[in-house]
Amino acid sequence: MALELLQSLVWTEYRLAILFTVIIPLGLLAWAVLQKAHAITHLLTIYWRVASLLAITVYLMVAQIPLSFGVGFLALLLIPISLWFWVDLNEEIDDRRGYLKLALTAWRWATTLFCLLAAALQVPYLRCALSTAEMATPTCQAWLEPTYLFWETFHSGARVGRMSFLALLALVIYGLYLLYFLIFRLSKQGRSATGF
């Protein structure tokens, strides 16, 4: 793939990610809280826990840590799972009527499609996770460009080394929580988000 086309696709993917994984779910969460839609609020809270892996990915990419490519790919796979996995929440949401349910359902399907397409786009570039030498190639660097703009916009005075340490620490904490969930909570409560 030509480098210019790849850069265009990467920037488009990042813009769509901001829309589907940040702006719309924030609006839906505020709407659900105002409507006192507890099942939708619970689902979106779970979503934000899972989607925080994307934020960790951005900081790892700014620090040019090769692992960031694998972490970002994993996040894109976990997000659709988190949106559809919970049987009890799905049943409660299915019982609702109104524009909030319609908006949530449309967003869930759109985000699922976006995440799966974005993950498919990233598959050939998972090799960037193999080494810092591989990461230095122009095609791998194309994936890092939007994160540099993010850094300049929101953290221009911060040291990259300190933020990369915090990102790695956040990744370790996230990984420990995910292991705890998979080993202990999932075996106890199954696909029930409320544990009943």
pLDDT at position 196 is: 52
Query: Is there a contact between 54 and 61 (Cβ–Cβ < 8 Å)?
Result: no
pLDDT at position 161 is: 83
Tell me the mean pLDDT in the region 152-177: 89
Round to whole Å and give the CA distance between 21 and 57.
13
pTM: 0.91
pLDDT at position 190 is: 82
Round to whole Å and give the CA distance between 61 and 59.
5
Number of domains in the chain: 1
% of the chain with per-residue pLDDT over 70: 98
Residue 133 has a CB neighbour count (10 Å cut-off) of 9
Residue 1 has pLDDT above 80, yes or no: no
Round to whole Å and give the CA distance between 193 and 185.
10
Residue 11 has pLDDT above 60, yes or no: yes
Query: DSSP class of residue 66?
Result: T
Is residue 57 one of the residues assigned to a domain?
A: yes
Q: What is the mean pLDDT of the chain?
A: 92
Is residue 196 one of the residues assigned to a domain?
A: no
pLDDT at position 195 is: 63
Residue 67 has pLDDT above 60, yes or no: yes
Round to whole Å and give the CA distance between 134 and 13.
22
pLDDT at position 152 is: 86
Q: What would the two tokens of residue 129 be?
A: 């996770």
Round to whole Å and give the CA distance between 130 and 134.
7
> Which of 178, 57, 77 is closest to 128 using CA atoms?
57
pLDDT at position 3 is: 87
Confidence of residue 5 (pLDDT cuts 50, 70, 90): very high
Residue 158 has pLDDT above 90, yes or no: no
Round to whole Å and give the CA distance between 18 and 112.
14
Tell me the mean pLDDT in the region 83-99: 91
pLDDT at position 165 is: 92
Q: What would the two tokens of residue 74 be?
A: 């994993």
Is residue 194 one of the residues assigned to a domain?
A: no
Stronger pLDDT, 151 or 29, i.e. the higher one: 29
Residue 71 has a CB neighbour count (10 Å cut-off) of 23
Residue 88: which domain range? 3-189
